Amino acid sequence: SIAHYPNRVIDMFMDAVPWTLGLLGVSFVISFFLGTLLGALFGWPRAPRSIQWLFPPLITLHAIPYYLLGLVLLYLLSFYVRWLPSGGGYPRGTIPNWSWEFAFSVVRHAILPALSIVLAQIGGWALGMRAMMVTTRGEDYMIFADAKGLSERTLFLRYAVRNAILPQMTGLALVLGYLISGAVLVEIVFQYPGIGTLLWRAIRETDYFLVQGIVFFSIVTIGLATLLLDIIYPLLDPRISYDRKR
């Protein structure tokens, strides 16, 4: 590192990685499963009509950048009602340790940035899953399964959701690949000690080696995520095979 000599880039990077993976990884996975479940229900004609009112507000929240949504949540929940801390990964003056008290404080500090990401992402996953459910409903195998008299649960889970979720898995793998670069603005807004904050600090201090290291590891992570998707995709969709035998 130029600005923090003699600290090594790899050491600074590895110190920030757990914070980014813990915050963004959990947030994106939660938003994926909630958005996919709601999208499947939105696109299913026999789903309860009471949940349909959730679709417009979720799409509206999806149109708001999560760092801007984070500022709103920061004002409401931290400065107005004072329920949650305003920023940081843990209280100032605290030495990181493996106690339950420290773990609770870390979770409490992560709620606001995680909530801003989850609320902004659910609508996108729900919209994509809803579109795939509408397309899947018109497939021949769905019509045939319905004609056989299969139960509603079987039609929904084993036929509709199982096939409609495949494009969602592709999107999840690509999103997870970008986690290592961090949600820069979210981490800056909440002063969260992750990769995004580290990258912003490196750019501000013109620490070119640190910037290059973060970008390099981001590229490697995206490549590994894509490779992992190619490996597990045949397990998710039996119609796909890499066997050249005919």
CATH code of residue 137: 1.10.3720.10
What is the CB neighbour count within 10 angstroms for residue 109?
Answer: 23
User: What is the DSSP track for 164-219?
Assistant: HTHHHHHHHHHHHHTGGG--HHHHHHTT--SHHHHHHHHHHTT-HHHHHHHHHHHH
> Looking at the 3D structure of the chain, how many domains does it have?
1
How is residue 148 written in tokens?
A: 């056989």
Residue 3 falls inside a structural domain: no
Residue 226 falls inside a structural domain: yes
Residue 2 falls inside a structural domain: no
pLDDT of residue 178: 60
pLDDT of residue 33: 92
Residue 245 falls inside a structural domain: no
Per-residue pLDDT of the chain (246 residues; tens, 9 = 90+): 787 888 898 899 888 888 888 888 888 889 999 999 999 999 998 888 888 899 999 999 988 888 888 889 999 998 888 889 888 888 887 888 888 888 999 999 999 999 998 998 899 899 999 999 998 888 888 888 888 888 888 999 888 888 888 888 877 767 766 655 556 788 888 889 888 888 888 988 988 899 998 888 878 877 887 788 778 777 777 666 656 555
How is residue 196 written in tokens?
A: 């995004």
